[in-house]
C-alpha cells in the first residue's frame, strides 16, 4: 500500500510538472514581442520616426515626377513605360558611409544600394532602441529582411567586363541579411525573404516565430526597396496597373493603380519577458501568414484566404476583432484590389461598438513593394503611440464598390482621434504579395510606459580590490549602480569628421534642458550607444557650459587602439593633502563614501580618532599621522571608485606611504593591516625625521650624490630621498645640510624647489627607526595579491613573500625609487597612468620618465586642490575614455530614464557607383627582394589598396593586421599572382594565408623576401 501511494504521489508530481511545462510552452508560443526601436528611410526626406509622423499627420504626398529627381544617380525611365514617370523616391541612394562599416570603396561600388540602406537603417534602429552593438552580439541576434528588386545587379549585366569578385555578394538577395549579420557580428538566424510585396511583413512574422522559439533573443526585421532599372518598372506595369495620374488613391472612387516607391524600414524586436525597463514602442501580439491558394489567376487576390489570415493572426494574439481600432491595409489603390481587401476586413473586423479606422501609407509614398509591410507596421505603431489616425491622402469619395454601411469601419480623410476601450489600443497590419503570399500582424500599445529610472548605488564592501562590474540580465535595463547628476558626455564616431556634426546635434538636443535632464542625456549617451574608435568626452558643471563646449568641437583625435590600453594606479605620498579634500567626493560618490567609512571604522578602533571627522575639519592635516592616514583612506576610496567605473589596473605602485595603499589595492594587505602599518609608520617618521627638510633638484641622482659627498663630514646627515625622474632628485635630511646641497646645486645653475616639509623623510635621520618599525611588524602576514605591484623601494616587480616587515622598514628609510618603478611598469606595455591622491604631485616626474623611455603615454590625476570634481575627476575620466578605455558608464552616470531620446549617428556618406571605383598605378616591379623588405611592404600595401579601392595609402598601415581588411579569398589569390608576376618570386599559398590571417604588411613582405 505504501509503495502504491509513493507511486501515486510521484505520478501526481510528474503530472504537475508536465502541465507546468506545457503551460510554459504554450505561453512561449504566443509570447508578445516588444518593438524596442525602429529606423526608416522614406521618400520626402524622411529619415527618422519624428519626420515620418509629421508627414503622416500633415497628409503629405511624397510622390514626385521620377524624371525630375534622377539627377544622374539613376537611369531615366524607359520610353515604353506608359505610366511610370511618377514614384516615391529616396534621395542620394548613391551615397553611403562605407568606412563606418569597414567596407572598401571598390566593394561599396558593387553593393546594391539596398544593402547599403539596410546597414545604415539597421544601425539607426539599434540606436532608437538604445541598444549598443555589444548587447546585440551577446543576444545571438537574428536578421530577417524582405527584398524583391535586383535592379542594381541587372544594370551590370550589359557590361560583363565590369563584373568582379564583389559583384555576386553585392547583388545577392541572401547577402542583404547576411552582410548585416557579418559586419555587426550577429550570430542568430540570418535570412532574406522574397514574397514580393509582402516580403518585409513576412520577415517580421518569421522573426516573431524565431524569437518565440528561442532561436534568438533579439531580431532585426524589416525590408528595403530601391528602383534603379527602368526595365523593372516596365515589368511591373505588365503585371500591376500603374496609376496614370501619378497619385495613389486608396479607397477612393478615382483609384486607378499603384505608384512604385522606394523605402527602407527596420525594427528591433525582442520577447516581452526580456524587455523589462526599456522603452517599448509597441507590442506585436500576434502574426500569421498564408497563401491565397488556387484562384482565378496567380496574381488575383482571394478574399476568403485574406479573412482566414486575419482570424489566424487574432487567434495567435489572443485578441478579439472588436478590440482593434486601427487597420493599416495593404491598400494599393487599385480599383479591384481595394474592394476585395475591404470585403475581408469587414467580414472579420466589421462588428463591434468601437469605431475602427482604415488607412494606407501608400497614399503618402506609393507602393514600396518589399518595404511596404514594415512601413505600414511602423505607421501603425506611430498611430498607437500618438493615438491619432492620419488622413488617407487623396480620398475624396469612397469607392462605390466598398460598402462600409452598418459596420464600425471608416476611412478617414482628415486627422482623427484613435478610438480606445478599456485596454491599451490595438492595431492590425496587412501585407499581400502579388504571388499570393500574405501576412497580417496585430499590434498593441504598451500597457504603460516604463517609469523613469533613478536608482542609486548600493554601499560596496572590501578594500578597493577588484569587484565584479555586474551587468544586465538578458537585454533589460539593470538596476542602477551609479547616480544621475553628473554632466559627463561621451561621444564617439568611426570617422573623426562625424564628431563635429554629432557634437552640434547634442548641443541642439540640450537646448532647454535643466541639469537633471542634461544628466539624463549624458547617461543615455554613455549606456545606449556603441562606443566607437574616434572619441570625444566633455565634462561640465551645468548645461550651459556643456553646450558651449560642444559648440567648440572642431574634430576628433586619432582612433583608439583595437584593444583597451593597460592602466597603472599610482598612489602618491604625503604632501598632496589640503583642507577640504574629499568633501565633494564623499558627498557625490556613494562608492567612495562607503569605502572611506569602512576605513574610518578601522582607524577608530586602532587609533581612537576619526578619518571622516578630520577630513571634514582639516585642522590636523599638517600632522604626519593624520595626513598619511587620511590620504590613504581617500586613495582607497578612489581606487574603489575607478574600479567600479570599469577602470581596472594592470599594475600598481606607490610613492613613499603610497606604497602601503598600493599594496592594499593590489590585494596584498587587508584594510586593518593597511592602517595599522600606516599608523606605525607615521609615528616612526614623526619621531625620527622631525626638524629635517627636503628639496627637489633638477639633476640626475648621480650628480646630486656627488654634491652630497662633496660636503665631507656632513655627508652622512643627508641623502637622496627620492629618484622621481631622470632629472628630478629629492635630497632629504637635516635642514642645514639640505640647505648646503641646494646652494651647491644652484651654483651649477640647476633649478631647486624647496619642499614645504618639516621632516627629513627617507634620509639618514631615520636610521634605526626602520629597524624599530620592522620589529613592530613582526607578525605581519601579507597576502599574495591579485594585481602586479611595483615597489618604489626596489624599483622592480614585487616578488612573492617580499612585503614582510623588513620591506616596510626599508620603505620608511630608503630612497623612493619612483622613476625606476615607473620605467619597469612601462616596460610591460602599460601606457596609461592614473595618480590617486588629493592633488597630483607626480604627473610631471612620471611624464619625464616615460618621455625619456620613448613611451607614448597618457597620465591623469584624480582630484586637485580647491577644484570641483567636474574640473578634475570627471575630466580625468573623460581623458581615459578618449584614450580607449572601456568605461562602465551605467556605473558612472546611472541609468537614464527610458524616455530620453538621442541624436542619430551623422553618416559621412560618399558617392559609390558602378564604374567609379578608384584606379591606382602599378608599383615598379624591379624590387630587390632580400634587402628591400620596406619596399615590398609598400608593394603589398598598394596591392591591397588597389583591391579595396582606397585612394590613400595611409588607409593601409604597414603595421595593421591584414585580417582587419577582410580580403576575399579570390582577392588574396589575385594578389599572390601579382606578386609572383611582378616580383618574380614564388609565394606559397598556405604561407600567404597564414600571414593574411595573423600578420601585417611588414610580416608579409618579410615572408616574400625570405621566399626569394
| 3-state SS assignment for residue 534 | strand
Report whether 75 contacts 155 (CB < 8 A).
yes
pLDDT at 920: 34
| 3-state SS assignment for residue 144 | strand
1005 part of a folded domain: yes
**Closest of 330, 35, 46 to residue 199, by C-alpha:** 330
pLDDT at 928: 41
258's torsion region: left (phi>0), alpha (psi -120 to 50) or beta? beta
pLDDT at 206: 99
727 part of a folded domain: no
Is residue 807 among the annotated active site residues?
Answer: no
Q: What is the mean pLDDT of the chain?
A: 90
Q: In whole angstroms, what is the distance from residue 226 CA to residue 171 CA?
A: 12
What contacts 251, CB < 8 A, 6 or more positions away? Answer: 331, 338, 342, 358, 360, 392, 395, 398, 399, 402, 411
Q: In whole angstroms, what is the distance from residue 637 CA to residue 1003 CA?
A: 46
Query: What angle separates helix 969-983 from helix 933-948, to the nearest 10 degrees?
Result: 140
Q: How confident is the model at residue 918 (pLDDT cuts 50, 70, 90)?
A: very low
Over residues 633-655, the mean pLDDT reads 98
Q: Which pLDDT tens digit goes with each residue over 144-203?
A: 999 999 999 999 988 888 889 899 999 999 999 999 999 999 999 999 999 999 999 999
**Closest of 223, 266, 283, 281 to residue 126, by C-alpha:** 266
End-to-end CA distance of the chain: 89
Tally the domains of the chain: 4
| 195 and 252 within one domain | yes
| 344 and 283 within one domain | yes
How many CB atoms sit inside 10 A of residue 183's CB? Answer: 16
| 500 and 397 within one domain | no
**Between 81 and 761, where is the model more confident?**
761
Q: How far is CA 318 from the centre of its chain?
A: 37
pLDDT at 81: 53
Q: How far is CA 274 from the centre of its chain?
A: 20
Q: Which pLDDT tens digit goes with each residue over 569-607?
A: 999 999 899 999 999 999 999 999 999 999 999 999 999
Residue 530, pLDDT above cutoff 90: yes
Is residue 248 among the annotated active site residues?
Answer: no
Least confident of 479-488, 606-615, 851-860, 904-913: 479-488
**Closest of 248, 266, 265 to residue 257, by C-alpha:** 248
How many CB atoms sit inside 10 A of residue 397's CB? Answer: 11
448's torsion region: left (phi>0), alpha (psi -120 to 50) or beta? beta
Q: How far is CA 151 from the centre of its chain?
A: 34
Main-chain dihedrals φ then ψ at residue 143, nearest 5 degrees: -130, 120
pLDDT at 448: 66
How many CB atoms sit inside 10 A of residue 187's CB? Answer: 15
Q: What is the DSSP string of 315-331?
A: HHHT--GGGEEEEE---
Domain endpoint, select from 444, 474, 507? 444
For CA atoms 581, 586, 589, 592, the dihedral sign is positive
Q: In whole angstroms, what is the distance from residue 974 CA to residue 972 CA?
A: 5
Q: In whole angstroms, what is the distance from residue 204 CA to residue 734 CA?
A: 82
Q: In whole angstroms, what is the distance from residue 58 CA to residue 56 CA?
A: 5
Q: How confident is the model at residue 923 (pLDDT cuts 50, 70, 90)?
A: very low
Residue 861, pLDDT above cutoff 50: yes
Half-sphere exposure of 580 (CA within 13 A, CB side): 7
Query: For residue 309, what is its C-alpha cell?
Result: 489570415
Q: In whole angstroms, what is the distance from residue 429 CA to residue 380 CA?
A: 7
Q: Which pLDDT tens digit goes with each residue over 253-282?
A: 999 999 999 999 999 999 999 998 899 999
What contacts 530, CB < 8 A, 6 or more positions away? Answer: 126, 132, 133, 134, 492
pLDDT at 241: 85
pLDDT at 990: 77
Q: How far is CA 899 from the centre of its chain?
A: 19
Instruction: Kindly report the three-state secondary structure assignment for every residue of 62-81.
Output: CCEECHHHCCCCCCCCCCCC
**Between 91 and 310, where is the model more confident?**
310
pLDDT at 449: 55
pTM, 2 dp: 0.86
pLDDT at 300: 81
962 part of a folded domain: yes
265 part of a folded domain: yes
pLDDT at 210: 98
Domain endpoint, select from 500, 524, 551? 551
338 part of a folded domain: yes
Residue 458, pLDDT above cutoff 50: no
pLDDT at 738: 96
**Closest of 335, 596, 489, 560 to residue 903, by C-alpha:** 489
| 3-state SS assignment for residue 555 | coil
pLDDT at 549: 96
Calculate what percentage of the chain has a pLDDT beyond 90.
Answer: 73
Determine whether 140 is exposed, middle or buried from the number of CB atoms within 10 Å of its CB (0-12, 13-18, 19+): middle
Determine whether 720 is exposed, middle or buried from the number of CB atoms within 10 Å of its CB (0-12, 13-18, 19+): buried
Residue 875, pLDDT above cutoff 50: yes
| 356 and 224 within one domain | yes
Residue 171: in which H helix or E strand, if any?
helix 167-171
Residue 401, pLDDT above cutoff 70: yes
Is residue 216 among the annotated active site residues?
Answer: no
| 214 and 156 within one domain | yes
pLDDT at 980: 66
pLDDT at 8: 79
Q: In whole angstroms, what is the distance from residue 169 CA to residue 548 CA?
A: 46
Residue 508, pLDDT above cutoff 80: yes
Report whether 568 contacts 846 (CB < 8 A).
no
Q: How confident is the model at residue 830 (pLDDT cuts 50, 70, 90)?
A: very high
Q: Which pLDDT tens digit goes with each residue over 954-979?
A: 778 877 787 777 777 767 777 777 77
Q: In whole angstroms, what is the distance from residue 67 CA to residue 77 CA?
A: 7
pLDDT at 965: 79
Q: Which pLDDT tens digit goes with each residue over 758-806?
A: 999 999 999 999 999 999 999 999 999 999 999 999 999 999 999 999 9
**Between 480 and 707, where is the model more confident?**
707
3-state helix, strand, coil in the chain (%, to 5): 45, 15, 40
Q: Report strand pairing: 718-725 vs 190-193.
A: unpaired
859 part of a folded domain: no
Q: What is the DSSP string of 175-240?
A: HHHHHHHHHHT--S-EEEE--GGGHHHHHHHHHHHHHHTTS-SEEEEEEEE----HHHHHHHHHHS
How many CB atoms sit inside 10 A of residue 150's CB? Answer: 17
Q: How confident is the model at residue 922 (pLDDT cuts 50, 70, 90)?
A: very low
Q: In whole angstroms, what is the distance from residue 118 CA to residue 107 CA?
A: 16
The size of the chain, in residues, is 1012
Least confident of 394-408, 635-649, 982-996: 982-996
Over residues 92-107, the mean pLDDT reads 92
- Cα–Cα distances (Å) from 937 to 106, 718, 749, 916, 1001, in that order, read 21, 57, 50, 27, 5
pLDDT at 459: 29
Q: What is the four-CA torsion angle of 655, 660, 665, 668, rounded to 10 degrees?
A: 130
| 4 and 147 within one domain | no
Q: How far is CA 946 from the centre of its chain?
A: 31
Least confident of 428-442, 678-692, 872-886, 990-1004: 990-1004
| Residue the block writes with cell 568606412 | 99
Residue 703: in which H helix or E strand, if any?
helix 701-709
Given the residues 34, 173, 360, 367, the one annotated as active site? 367
625 part of a folded domain: no
| Residue the block writes with cell 599610482 | 570
Residue 885, pLDDT above cutoff 50: yes
Q: Which pLDDT tens digit goes with each residue over 332-354?
A: 999 989 999 999 999 999 999 99
656's torsion region: left (phi>0), alpha (psi -120 to 50) or beta? left
| 419 and 338 within one domain | yes
Q: In whole angstroms, what is the distance from residue 251 CA to residue 260 CA?
A: 17
pLDDT at 452: 37
Is residue 330 among the annotated active site residues?
Answer: yes
pLDDT at 983: 64
**Between 299 and 587, where is the model more confident?**
587
pLDDT at 783: 96
What contacts 588, CB < 8 A, 6 or more positions away? Answer: 483, 485, 486, 869
| 47 and 12 within one domain | no
Q: In whole angstroms, what is the distance from residue 242 CA to residue 85 CA?
A: 10
| 375 and 264 within one domain | yes
Over residues 231-242, the mean pLDDT reads 84
pLDDT at 178: 98
503 part of a folded domain: yes
CATH code for the domain of 1002: 1.10.1200.10
Over residues 86-115, the mean pLDDT reads 93
Highest averaged pLDDT of the listed ranges 235-249, 422-436, 930-944: 422-436
pLDDT at 333: 95
| 68 and 14 within one domain | no
What contacts 158, CB < 8 A, 6 or more positions away? Answer: none
Which value, in Å, is the radius of gyration of the alpha carbons in the chain?
Answer: 35
Given the residues 173, 197, 200, 823, the one annotated as active site? 197
Report whether 487 contacts 526 (CB < 8 A).
no
| 431 and 526 within one domain | no
Report whether 641 contacts 558 (CB < 8 A).
no
Given the residues 232, 572, 576, 656, the one annotated as active site? 656
CATH code for the domain of 229: 3.40.47.10
Query: For residue 161, what is its C-alpha cell?
Result: 567586363
Least confident of 122-131, 263-272, 713-722, 966-975: 966-975
Domain endpoint, select from 444, 463, 498? 444
Over residues 434-458, the mean pLDDT reads 71
Given the residues 173, 181, 198, 330, the one annotated as active site? 330
Range of the domain at 500: 490-551
Report whether 449 contacts 426 (CB < 8 A).
no
Q: In whole angstroms, what is the distance from residue 360 CA to residue 377 CA?
A: 10
| 416 and 516 within one domain | no
Q: In whole angstroms, what is the distance from residue 963 CA to residue 961 CA?
A: 5
Q: In whole angstroms, what is the distance from residue 944 CA to residue 472 CA?
A: 41
Residue 480, pLDDT above cutoff 70: no
Residue 925, pLDDT above cutoff 50: no
Over residues 406-420, the mean pLDDT reads 97
Q: How confident is the model at residue 469 (pLDDT cuts 50, 70, 90)?
A: very low
pLDDT at 984: 61
* Residue environment code for 359-369, b if the CB has 16+ CB neighbours within 10 A, otherwise e: bbbbbbbbbbb
Report whether 821 contacts 651 (CB < 8 A).
no
Amino acid at each position: 500500500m505504501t509503495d502504491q501511494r509513493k507511486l501515486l504521489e510521484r505520478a501526481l508530481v510528474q503530472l504537475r510538472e508536465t502541465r507546468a511545462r506545457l503551460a510554459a510552452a504554450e505561453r512561449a508560443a504566443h509570447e508578445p514581442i516588444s518593438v524596442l526601436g525602429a529606423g526608416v528611410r522614406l521618400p520626402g526626406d524622411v529619415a527618422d520616426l519624428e519626420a515620418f509622423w509629421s508627414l503622416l499627420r500633415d497628409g503629405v504626398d511624397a510622390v514626385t515626377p521620377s524624371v525630375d529627381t534622377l539627377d544622374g544617380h539613376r537611369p531615366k525611365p524607359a520610353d515604353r513605360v506608359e505610366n511610370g514617370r511618377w514614384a516615391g523616391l529616396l534621395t542620394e541612394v548613391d551615397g553611403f558611409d562605407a568606412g563606418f562599416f569597414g567596407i572598401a570603396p571598390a566593394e561599396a561600388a558593387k553593393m546594391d544600394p539596398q544593402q547599403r540602406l539596410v546597414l545604415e537603417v539597421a544601425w539607426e534602429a539599434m540606436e532608437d532602441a538604445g541598444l549598443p552593438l555589444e548587447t546585440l552580439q551577446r543576444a545571438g541576434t537574428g536578421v530577417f529582411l524582405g527584398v524583391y528588386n535586383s535592379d542594381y545587379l541587372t544594370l551590370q549585366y550589359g557590361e560583363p567586363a565590369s563584373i568582379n569578385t564583389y559583384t555576386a555578394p553585392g547583388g545577392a538577395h541572401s547577402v542583404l541579411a547576411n552582410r548585416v549579420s557579418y559586419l555587426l557580428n550577429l550570430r542568430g538566424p540570418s535570412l532574406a525573404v522574397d514574397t514580393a510585396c509582402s516580403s518585409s511583413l513576412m520577415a517580421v512574422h518569421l522573426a516573431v516565430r524565431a524569437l518565440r522559439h528561442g532561436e534568438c533573443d533579439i531580431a532585426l526585421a524589416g525590408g528595403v526597396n530601391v528602383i534603379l532599372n527602368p526595365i523593372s518598372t516596365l515589368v511591373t506595369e505588365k503585371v500591376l496597373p500603374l496609376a496614370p495620374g501619378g497619385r495613389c488613391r486608396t479607397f477612393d472612387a478615382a483609384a486607378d493603380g499603384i505608384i512604385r516607391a522606394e523605402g527602407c524600414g527596420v525594427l528591433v524586436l525582442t520577447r516581452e519577458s526580456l524587455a523589462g525597463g526599456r522603452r517599448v514602442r509597441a507590442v506585436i501580439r500576434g502574426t500569421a501568414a498564408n497563401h491565397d491558394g488556387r484562384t482565378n489567376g496567380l496574381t488575383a487576390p482571394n478574399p476568403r484566404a485574406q479573412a482566414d489570415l486575419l482570424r489566424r493572426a487574432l487567434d495567435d494574439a489572443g485578441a478579439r476583432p472588436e478590440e482593434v481600432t486601427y487597420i493599416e491595409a495593404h491598400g494599393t489603390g487599385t480599383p479591384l484590389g481595394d474592394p476585395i481587401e475591404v470585403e475581408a476586413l469587414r467580414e472579420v473586423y466589421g462588428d463591434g461598438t468601437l469605431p475602427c479606422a482604415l488607412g494606407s501609407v501608400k497614399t503618402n509614398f506609393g507602393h514600396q513593394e518589399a518595404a511596404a509591410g514594415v512601413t505600414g507596421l511602423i505607421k501603425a505603431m506611430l498611430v498607437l503611440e500618438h493615438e491619432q489616425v492620419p488622413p488617407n491622402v487623396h480620398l475624396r469619395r469612397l469607392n462605390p464598390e466598398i460598402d462600409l454601411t452598418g459596420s464600425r469601419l471608416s476611412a478617414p480623410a482628415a486627422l482623427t482621434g484613435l478610438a480606445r476601450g478599456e485596454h491599451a489600443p490595438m492595431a492590425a497590419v496587412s501585407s499581400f504579395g502579388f504571388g499570393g503570399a500574405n501576412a497580417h500582424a496585430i499590434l498593441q500599445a504598451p500597457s504603460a510606459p516604463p517609469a523613469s529610472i533613478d536608482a542609486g548605488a548600493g554601499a560596496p564592501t572590501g578594500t578597493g580590490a577588484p569587484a565584479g562590474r555586474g551587468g544586465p540580465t538578458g537585454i533589460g535595463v539593470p538596476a542602477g549602480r551609479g547616480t544621475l547628476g553628473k554632466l559627463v558626455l561621451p561621444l564617439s564616431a568611426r570617422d573623426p569628421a562625424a564628431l563635429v556634426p554629432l557634437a552640434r546635434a547634442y548641443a541642439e538636443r540640450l537646448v532647454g534642458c535643466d541639469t537633471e535632464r542634461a544628466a539624463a542625456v549624458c547617461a543615455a549617451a554613455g549606456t545606449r550607444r556603441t562606443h566607437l574608435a574616434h572619441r570625444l568626452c566633455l565634462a561640465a558643471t551645468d548645461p550651459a557650459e556643456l553646450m558651449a563646449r560642444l559648440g567648440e568641437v572642431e574634430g576628433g583625435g586619432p582612433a583608439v587602439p583595437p584593444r583597451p590600453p593597460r592602466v597603472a594606479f599610482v598612489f602618491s605620498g604625503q604632501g598632496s593633502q589640503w583642507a577640504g579634500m574629499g568633501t565633494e567626493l564623499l558627498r557625490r560618490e556613494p562608492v567612495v563614501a562607503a569605502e572611506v567609512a569602512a576605513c574610518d571604522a578601522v582607524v577608530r578602533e586602532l587609533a581612537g580618532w576619526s578619518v571622516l571627522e578630520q577630513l571634514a575639519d582639516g585642522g590636523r592635516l599638517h600632522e604626519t599621522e593624520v595626513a598619511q592616514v587620511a590620504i590613504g583612506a581617500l586613495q582607497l576610496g578612489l581606487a574603489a571608485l575607478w574600479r567600479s567605473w570599469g577602470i581596472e589596473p594592470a599594475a600598481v605602485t606607490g610613492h613613499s606611504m603610497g606604497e602601503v595603499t598600493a599594496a592594499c589595492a593590489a590585494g596584498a594587505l587587508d584594510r586593518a593591516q593597511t592602517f595599522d602599518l600606516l599608523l606605525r609608520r607615521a609615528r616612526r617618521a614623526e619621531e625620527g625625521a622631525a626638524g629635517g627638510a627636503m628639496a627637489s633638484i633638477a639633476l640626475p641622482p648621480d650628480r646630486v650624490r656627488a654634491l652630497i659627498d662633496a660636503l665631507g663630514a656632513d655627508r652622512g646627515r643627508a641623502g637622496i630621498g627620492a629618484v622621481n625622474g631622470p632629472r628630478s632628485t629629492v635630497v632629504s635630511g637635516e635642514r642645514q645640510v639640505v640647505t648646503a646641497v641646494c646652494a651647491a646645486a644652484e651654483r651649477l645653475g640647476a633649478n631647486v624647489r624647496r619642499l614645504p616639509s618639516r621632516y627629513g623623510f627617507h634620509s639618514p635621520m631615520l636610521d634605526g627607526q626602520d629597524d624599530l618599525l620592522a620589529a613592530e611588524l613582526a607578525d605581519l602576514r601579507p597576502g599574495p595579491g591579485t594585481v602586479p605591484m611595483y615597489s618604489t623601494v626596489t624599483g622592480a616587480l614585487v616578488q612573492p613573500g617580499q612585503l614582510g616587515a623588513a620591506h616596510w622598514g626599508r620603505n620608511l628609510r630608503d630612497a623612493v625609487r619612483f622613476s625606476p618603478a615607473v620605467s619597469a611598469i612601462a616596460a610591460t606595455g602599460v601606457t596609461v597612468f592614473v595618480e590617486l591622491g588629493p592633488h597630483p604631485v607626480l604627473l610631471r616626474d612620471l611624464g619625464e620618465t616615460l618621455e625619456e623611455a620613448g613611451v607614448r603615454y597618457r597620465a591623469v590625476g584624480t582630484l586637485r586642490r580647491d577644484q570641483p570634481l567636474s574640473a578634475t575627476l570627471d575630466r580625468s575620466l573623460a581623458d581615459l575614455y578618449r584614450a580607449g578605455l572601456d568605461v562602465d558608464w551605467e556605473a558612472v552616470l546611472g541609468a537614464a530614464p527610458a524616455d530620453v531620446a538621442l541624436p542619430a549617428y551623422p553618416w559621412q556618406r560618399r558617392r559609390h557607383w558602378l564604374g567609379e571605383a578608384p584606379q591606382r598605378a602599378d608599383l615598379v616591379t624591379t624590387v630587390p627582394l632580400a634587402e628591400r623588405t620596406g619596399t615590398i611592404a609598400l608593394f603589398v600595401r598598394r596591392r591591397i589598396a588597389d583591391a579595396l579601392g582606397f585612394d590613400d595609402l595611409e588607409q593601409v598601415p604597414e603595421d595593421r593586421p591584414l585580417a582587419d581588411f577582410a580580403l576575399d579569398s579570390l582577392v588574396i589569390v589575385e594578389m599572390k599572382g601579382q606578386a609572383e608576376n611582378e616580383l618574380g618570386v614564388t609565394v606559397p599559398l598556405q604561407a600567404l594565408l597564414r600571414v593574411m590571417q595573423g600578420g601585417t604588411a611588414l610580416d608579409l613582405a618579410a615572408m616574400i623576401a625570405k621566399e626569394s
